[in-house]
Amino acid sequence: MERNIFYYTASKDDLRIEQLNRLLSFEKVAGDVKLETEYPGLKVDFNSGARVRLPIGDWHVRISDYNSGIVAFDDDISDCTLVAAEKYYICWHVEIWKDSELVFEHVLDLNGQEVFIFMAGGALGDSISLFPYLRVMQQSYHCKISLLPPNDDFKNILVMYFPDINLVDEVPEDAYASYCLAVFQFPPYLIPADSRMMTPGMAAQSLLGLPRKADWVVYTPTAERCIKEKYVCIAVQASGIMKRWLYPDGWERVVSYLKELGYRVLCIDGAAKVIADGHLIEMPSGAEDFTGMKPLMERVNLLAYADFFIGLGSGLSWLAHACGIPVILISGFSLPLGEFYTPYRVTNPLACHGCYNDVRVDWKEGCPYHHGTEREFECSKSISYFMVKKAIDRVVEDIHGSNI
């Protein structure tokens, strides 16, 4: 991408310096402006925002939102590249004058076009929640989608369950538009509103301009069942101490109870032991060690045959949900809109909870309300073993009836 870039914005606020590096990283992925016009040197595309490459000359450009009429740029300009700071779907209207004569006009229309999607972060839960919206975009606009996966581990998942999506290593040269798909918390340039105020699906809809919610995609197994006995999978680890269940001996008692019910209990975390913010979180001693950074399809083929899964507000819970099995989700740091719906969600509304979805605080710094006090992480510590046991009893009855 050339260096002579002028960023403009439809927002009434000035560009935020702290977001500039992130915007530049989008330009690096999108590359140079790609689509030629009838005028030599004049190029227009919608790869990572509405972009116009102008050669030297007497040019006037107006770029606006076609639907609302809000004008993002309207000025004389020469020999530079105009780039929108807003990276999500906007129905851009580009008008260009040369020597006071209107020579180019175009309204963004994705129908039948080559659309490039790249994904930021690569978090397991975020990715699984967003993948179905690629299909909605394809169906809504009848466009061809090329996807740069968040990392190689997702490729088998995408090939198996989303075969119509073209996987690529870089933006196609004929890409008409490009969007970055992620659960962003940085409005107004990367997403219209902070994703913590909405479900992941709603975030995807706002990023890609989609008219409807996606149908859930079930990850069916690709291999036969390898464990004959009935079993339950659990995961006690998560990114950040605030996501863990910190009730004393909670996991040990859960595993003991599951074994009393006749289940094998398989722990499928990426690691059996993790020290997070001074807290040692390790696999319960009674669980079987199936930990390790296994390929996702291997995890799918294990989860799909489990009676149910017990986990946290983390990626493996999303993966279990995608496999179509019941999920007991233990979470105090998030509100229900932060994850998928499950009738077996366990939280304690009588304790401080839901800080993740409070856009006024930086939950990444630990417990934002009670750090350093006896109430630190009370959202997690106040979810008792008996609350989780009750959820286990409900899911077992739903699966097997009163007789297990």
Active site residues: 126
**CA geometry: angle 237, 183, 382, nearest 5 deg:** 40
Give 313's contacts (C-beta < 8 A, 6+ positions apart): 125, 238, 243, 329, 331, 333, 334, 338, 339, 356
**Pairing between β-strand 279-282 and β-strand 231-234 as defined by DSSP bridges:** unpaired
Give 371's contacts (C-beta < 8 A, 6+ positions apart): 365
Say if CB 79 and CB 55 are below 8 A apart.
yes
The structure tokens listed for 239 are 């990114």
Give 151's contacts (C-beta < 8 A, 6+ positions apart): 122
Q: How far is CA 246 from CA 89, 240, 251, 381, in A?
A: 41, 12, 9, 5
Say if CB 60 and CB 73 are below 8 A apart.
no
For residue 77, the cross-strand partners are: 59
Say if CB 181 and CB 207 are below 8 A apart.
yes
Single out the residue of 274, 251, 272 nearest to residue 346, CA to CA: 251
User: Which residue in this structure is represented by tokens 């069916």?
Assistant: 220
User: Three-class SS of residue 140?
Assistant: helix
